[in-house]
Amino acid sequence: MIAIISPAKSLNFESLAPFDVSTLPLFLKDADYLAGKLGKLNSSKLGKLLDISPKLAHLNAERYASWKTATLKQAIFAYNGDVYDGMEANTFSGQEIEFAQNHLRIISGLYGLLQPLDLIKPYRIDMGTSFSTPKGENLYKFWGDKITDELKKNLKISGSNILINLASQEYFASINTKKLKARIITPSFKDRSNDKYAMISFFAKRARGMMSRFIIQNEITDHEMLVGFDAGGYHFNHELSKGDNWVFTRG
């Protein structure tokens, strides 16, 4: 069983990671290639491409300009968004990190597919960015089936054909599901609002991180055990769940 999550726009390269052990991204050459192309854009063009403020555009232009000498940090400790707040990877034990390394993958617009301990550099580009390369008009075209093929290998190594999709639609769309030929279970998280259940983005993102933590800490390799997830007050909702779209609700 493999679980997938999205990266985060916010990064933390200031604090030290709790573990020294690290690995290198499989698609490092591709990441360096994209970073090199992005480094040729000035701050204004980069800001328009990424749809970010002038301040953020300047920061990321500097990041790409100094790419070769940039600081490195393991992905699971470098990303700092809502999903990662919910996962609290800094508190994992060595055994839990090892399990995560074997059963958790992060889909990235720049790096393609990451293991938790893969070293990354500070960057900013989303999978859905319309960044043109010789392979096509966007990053989906650039990555093609590379992410799918690697996930297929990871699933085979795990001994299970179950993919737990905890990624956003933007990043999940990078997977060729027909070619992957896996059973894909997609948990969603809803809160009661005005007497009905609805997905609230902030809470849903944190819940994806909490479920990742639940999988890692309990070393779950049997997908049926996911129905026992109860972190943050969420519980499996049999009535709202349909097929492999599993709904967890609270309130």
Q: State the Cα–Cα distance between residues 64 and 39, nearest whole angstrom.
A: 5
Rounded CA separation 144/192 (Å): 39
Q: What is the pLDDT of residues 1-20, one digit of tens each?
A: 999 999 999 999 999 999 99
| Amino acid 180: pLDDT | 97
Average pLDDT, the chain: 97
Lookup result for tokens 């990064």: 11
In a domain, 126, yes or no: no
Q: Is 105 within 8 Å of 182 (Cβ atoms)? A: no
Q: Is residue 116 domain-resident?
A: yes
Query: Does residue 148 lie in a domain region?
Result: yes
Q: Is residue 162 part of a domain?
A: yes
Using an 8 Å Cβ cutoff, are 7 and 108 in contact? yes
Q: What percent of the chain has pLDDT over 90?
A: 98
pLDDT at 204: 97
Give the three-class secondary structure for 156. helix
Q: Total structural domains in the chain?
A: 1
User: pLDDT (tens digit, 9 = 90+) per residue, 155-195?
Assistant: 999 999 999 999 999 999 999 999 999 999 999 999 998 88
If you ran DSSP here, which 8-state letter would residue 81 be given? Answer: S
Q: Which domain holds residue 60?
A: 2-121+131-250
Q: pLDDT tens for residues 82-137?
A: 999 999 999 999 999 999 999 999 999 999 999 999 999 999 999 999 999 999 99
Q: Is the C-alpha dihedral spanning 154, 92, 211, 6 positive or negative?
A: negative
| Domain assignment present for 138 | yes
